[in-house]
Copies of this chain bind each other. A is one copy, B any other.
C-alpha cells in the first residue's frame, strides 16, 4: 500500500488538528507530573505516619502504599538523594525541611481535590480513589478554582 502524501487535500481532513507542538507540550507535562507522583505520595504518607505514630517505618509505608518493603527501600534512598528525607540504616524515615514543605502542599491539594469531588456528590470512597491520581495533575489555576467554588457554592 502506497504511503499517503504528507499534505492531503482538505477533502480528506475530517477534523482540525491542533499544532503538534502544543499537544506535545501537554503530553510532556503529563509525563513530568507522573515522574514526581511517587515523591509526592511518599512524603505525604511519611508525614501522615509521623503524625499518627511518631515515626514512619519501612513496613508501615509498604503496607500503606501497597508495595513490598523492597520498593519502599529503593524509593526512600532516592528521596534521600533528592533531599526530601533523612534516614539511616535500620532507623525510621523522617522528612527534611524540603520534604515537610512538599508534604504540606500535597496534603492540602489532596484534601482540596477530595472535598471538591465530594461537593459534586461523589461518594467518599470514589472521591478518595480518584483524588489519589487526579491530585498530581491539578495545576495551581485549577486548584484555585476548586477552592473558590468550595467557599461559595
Contacts and interface: CB of A to CB of B under 8 A. Distances in A.
Interface of A: 1, 3-4, 8, 12-17, 20, 22-30, 33-34, 37, 41, 45, 48-49, 51-55, 57, 60, 63-67, 91-92, 117, 120-123, 126-130, 132-134, 136-139, 141-142, 145-146, 149
A1 B1 CA distance: 71
A29 B142 contact: no
A129 B29 contact: yes
A24 B132 CA distance: 11
A79 B133 CA distance: 23
A127 B13 CA distance: 25
**Dominant secondary structure of chain A at its interface with chain B:** helix
A23 to B, nearest CB: 5
Contacts of A34: 34, 37, 133
A54 B37 CA distance: 36
A53 B20 CA distance: 13
A85 B28 CA distance: 23
B122 A54 contact: no
Given A3-B57, A4-B53, A29-B133, 11 more contacts: A8-B54, A12-B54, A24-B64, A24-B65, A24-B66, A25-B129, A26-B132, A27-B67, A120-B145, A120-B149, A130-B138
